[in-house]
A = this chain, B = another copy of it.
Amino acid sequence: MKKKKKVNAAILIIGNEILSGRTQDKNVAFISFWLNKNCGISVSEVRIIPDVEKTIIDNIKIMSKKFNYVFTTGGIGPTHDDITAESIAKAFKVKYGYHKEAYKILENYYGKKKFNDGRKKMAKMPLVAKLIYNPSSAAPGFITKNVLSLPGVPSILNSMIENCKKYLIRGLKIHSETINIFTVESNISKELSYIQKRFKNFVDIGSYPFFRLGKIGVSVVSRSTSKKKLVSVRKDIKKLLKKKKIKIFNI
């Protein structure tokens, strides 16, 4: 459990319902925020793909090599379109079948009589996988190599996320600081780019316009693993705002 290394992750959202626009994804923001806050892990890429076996396999292969961790969401339920577990087994060329521990958990939860084929399917996964316990609806998620598989339903996923922690190496947390101002971006863009240049490689400064109470505003967000550097950036931004006579406010 070493600290002080940058650790990254990717999220692979598996589901036609998100791609088609029918359902608004809520898992990316939740996982990304949680990972940084609790484990110091930054999400570096997200992909949303359909329930197509070859597509899942290809993406698992690429992403599991490229990132420290991959979180998949969706496709681990009891129906025919739930093909995440089998696709991951195929991507890693490991055996797929009834996972003893998962089977036991589900059999206990439903009782032998009500443990039908659909429910049994949720115990099928890569045999080498370790379980991510599910306090809401029993059906466990699982980790195969560096790929953690969670369900798509946000309330269930949210209830399981703490149980991912034990499988994750902790990295350097990224701290962030937001300064909200009522002005247009182009009013500060030049000077802001100088500040960004001075802190290149240490701080990422982002500028995000918004509309509020009929006025145009900008959120200037600085992100860094160093709290010290953030303080320096804040000072520079405050100087710039003073010069331009722009006031900071809280939202």
A80 near B189: Cβ-Cβ < 8 Å = yes
Question: How long is the Cα–Cα vector from A78 to B209 in the complex, in angstroms?
Answer: 10
Enumerate A148-170 residues with CB–CB distance to B below 8 Å.
153, 155
Any B CB within 8 A of the CB of A232: no
Q: Check A206–B78 contact: CB distance below 8 A.
A: no
Contacts of A208 in B (CB 8 A): 17, 23
Whole-angstrom distance between the Cβ of A117 and the nearest chain B Cβ: 6
Q: Are A207 and B79 in contact (CB under 8 A)?
A: yes
Among residues of B, the one whose C-beta sits closest to the C-beta of A26 is B24
- Which residues of chain B are near A196, meaning CB under 8 Å? 80-81
Contact B81 A207 (CB under 8 A): yes
Q: Given A80-B189, A80-B193, A186-B118, A28 and B18 touching (CB < 8 A)?
A: yes
A22 at the interface (CB under 8 A from B): yes
Which residues of chain B are within 8 angstroms of A126 by Cβ–Cβ distance? none
The yes or no answer to A20 lying at the interface (CB within 8 A) is yes
* A77:B118 contact, CB within 8 angstroms: no
A19 at the interface (CB under 8 A from B): yes
Tell whether, in the assembled complex, residue B20 and residue A223 are in contact, meaning their CB atoms are under 8 Å apart.
yes
Given contacts A77-B185, A80-B192, A185-B78, contact A206 B17 (CB under 8 A): yes
Distance, CA A48 to CA B22, complexed state (A): 19
B interface footprint on A27-47 (CB within 8 Å = 1, 0 otherwise): 011111110100000111111
A21 located at the interface, meaning its Cβ lies under 8 Å from any Cβ of chain B in the complex: yes
A3 to chain B, nearest CB (A): 20
Q: How far is the CA of A35 from the CA of B17 in the complex (A)?
A: 15
Given contacts A186-B116, A193-B80, A223-B20, are A45 and B47 in contact (CB under 8 A)? Answer: yes
Cα separation A28 to B26 with both chains bound (whole Å) = 12
* Choice from B19, B36, B119, B207 contacting A21 with Cβ under 8 Å: B36
Indicate whether A176 reaches chain B with its CB closer than 8 angstroms. yes
Q: Is A51's CB within 8 Å of the partner chain B?
A: yes
A174–B51 CA distance with the chains assembled, in angstroms: 16
Binding site for B on A (CB under 8 A): 13, 15-26, 28-34, 36, 42-51, 55, 77-81, 116-119, 121, 153, 155, 174, 176, 185-190, 192-193, 196-197, 204-211, 221, 223
Which 3 pairs between the two chains have the least Cβ-Cβ distance? A118-B186, A21-B33, A118-B189
